[in-house]
Amino acid sequence: MAADFKRLVEDSREMTRRSFLAIVGWVGFTVASAIALFQSVKFIQPNATYEDPPAFKPVGELAFPTSYAVGSTTVLIDKRVVINRDQDGFYAISLICTHLGCTPRYFPDVTSDLVLAGTQISRDPDTGQLATKANPTLPGFKCPCHGSRYFRDADNFFGPAPRPMDRVHMELAKDGRLFIDRSIVVDHKFRLKV
Ligand code: FES
């Protein structure tokens, strides 16, 4: 009788030990699975962003203001930015069509075909320039998607574009290089004086 009781106690201790080990095993398995799942999700959605940052400095010989002649238009097509230099300073244009967002292209003549076809073109509100039959050629941008056209200073004058292209912030960095931030839209009268 006493021997039976002793065996019963030992069996119940054995069961308790087994249960404990089983619980530890399951907890370990669950934690390991959770870690594996987390790592998988992290791998699918990495933290890195591959978007081009909005602020940048032109590189190479375009880094410094002295590289730009007065009256020049420089297209940085990979950045979708244009740098214009006039008598009164620099300004940067965001090269994004205000109709549906295509990338307009620069042409030394965006007006003469319209003028010669008899299309009335309004005067550039910023520069006061007017394309006429006597003087039909003005530089600017044409959008390849639906044909909008812009004067060199980004004012729209033809096609479905509802407004001028944006001008964006530009400054001279401490290292003497030009610095452009496409995330900051500035007034059309903005000029960087160097
Ligand atoms: S996106 Fe430029 S004209 Fe439509």
What does the pLDDT profile of the chain (194 residues) look like in tens digits? 556 656 655 665 665 666 656 766 777 677 677 766 667 666 556 566 667 899 999 999 999 999 999 999 999 999 999 999 999 999 999 999 999 999 999 999 999 999 999 998 999 988 899 999 999 999 999 999 999 999 999 999 999 999 999 999 999 999 999 999 999 999 999 999 98
Our CA dihedral for 14, 15, 17, 21, rounded to 10 degrees, sits at 140
Task: Write the CA distances from 55 to 46, 146, 161, 173, 184, integer angstroms.
Answer: 23, 29, 25, 12, 9
Task: Evaluate whether 151 touches 129 at the Cβ level (below 8 Å).
Answer: yes
Pocket test for ligand 1, best of 99, 105, 141 (most atoms within 8 A of CB): 99
Any ligand 1 atom below 6 A from CB of 110: no
Ligand 1 atom nearest to CA at 104: 2
Q: What is the pTM of this model?
A: 0.75
CB of 148 within 6 A of ligand 1: the answer is yes
